[in-house]
Amino acid sequence: MIRHLSLFYAAADLNRARELFTAALDVEFAAERHLEQTTYLTAELLGGTALELWPAGGRPSRVQLEFEVEDLDVVAERLTDAGFEVRQLSGAVLAVDPAGNTVALISASARQQT
């Protein structure tokens, strides 16, 4: 089951992109976040989808999918055995494909605690 879908959009002008999507989708970009000294904007859409606006060149356009799994350790081992780069996080594992896209695997038990 897809738990969350983030749509990444690279924009040369974040404020102008915010205006475009606010007008087109009637959403508000309530969160301004910072990662690796890069500021980006995010808006929550219907059905657990997020739209993230990134400065062009600050981060490549990509898709990140999140899936809920029962046993993170088993899944992480399978991914490692299959040759994928795996990043362990608290309650989650990130797998990176050759193009740099990430798939987040979230522990079902950790999700139930939130």
Would 2-60 and 64-113 be classified into the same CATH topology? Answer: yes
Q: What is the pTM of this model?
A: 0.53
- The ranges assigned to domains in the chain are 2-60, 64-113
pLDDT in tens, 55-72: 877 555 565 667 788 888
Both ends of the chain: CA-CA distance in Å? 18
User: Domain 64-113 belongs to what architecture?
Assistant: Roll (3.10)
Torsion of CA 12, 94, 103, 51, to 10 degrees: -40
pLDDT in tens, 23-63: 777 788 876 777 667 788 899 887 778 888 888 775 555 65
Superfamily holding 2-60:
2,3-Dihydroxybiphenyl 1,2-Dioxygenase, domain 1 (3.10.180.10)
